A = this chain, B = another copy of it.
Amino acid sequence: MEAVLTAAVALLDEAGQSALTFRALAARLGTGVGTIYWYVSSKDELFDRATDHAVGAILTAVEEQPQSDDPIADLREMAITLFDAMMDRPWLAAYFMRNTDVQGHSLRLYEKLGQQTLRLDLTPRQRFHAVSAIVGVVVGTAADLGAELPQEVLNGEVNRVEYLSRYAESWRRLDAATFPFVHEIADEFAEHDDRDQFLAALELTLAGLRLQAETP
């Protein structure tokens, strides 16, 4: 079981979601496909378990983070740790928190985030919505990343900026009168950093949350 999961994670790390097939996994483990079905009842469950296996490492990293006197700062720190881990493993975003029966680590991580909101002056509902919003920002941004690049991931690192500039240029070619915003944005988009984009979105949510916690 343990071996199955680490092999599955290795396949996902090496070549992404599409590389994790029962045949490839069986070949890597030197067994037959039927054997894997003895440990796992479907591909969805395989994904769930592999995801939770990887989340385990994130969880310990989050648990080692020292707690400050500002719950919102702690939430930021946790969200960033989670996001960074998902940048390394874009496939994580697609299955994170999808089935907490199987994903015990994910649930613990969710709990960890939620505990910070317990230190804020909020209603239970507000707390629930706050954590959902934060997880949404992390997973939403990371999920985009995972599916963004079509085939350019196979080539060198340079292709990303080239890919973005090609897009930016096609945007600049649009009529400036009907697309004023896209024009203004094109340069930003060409040089944009996914992590900055995530941090900005997170900051907006956290600012809103702080406001909510401070106003009676």
Contact = CB atoms under 8 A, between A and B. Distances in A.
Interface stretch (A6-14, A21-29, A199-207): A199-207
A182 B129 contact: no
Given A185-B124, A212-B204, A212-B207, A170 B101 contact: yes
Nearest to A141: B136
A190 to B, nearest CB: 11
Given A181-B115, A205-B204, A136 B128 contact: no
Chain A: interface residue count, which band?
35 or more
B127 A185 contact: yes
Contact of A188 (B124, B184, B185): B124
Nearest to A99: B150
Contact of A118 (B131, B141, B171, B180): B180
Interface in A15-62: 44
Interface in A94-124: 98, 100-101, 107, 110-111, 113-115, 117-118, 124
Nearest to A211: B207
A128 B186 CA distance: 9
A110 B139 CA distance: 21
Nearest to A185: B128
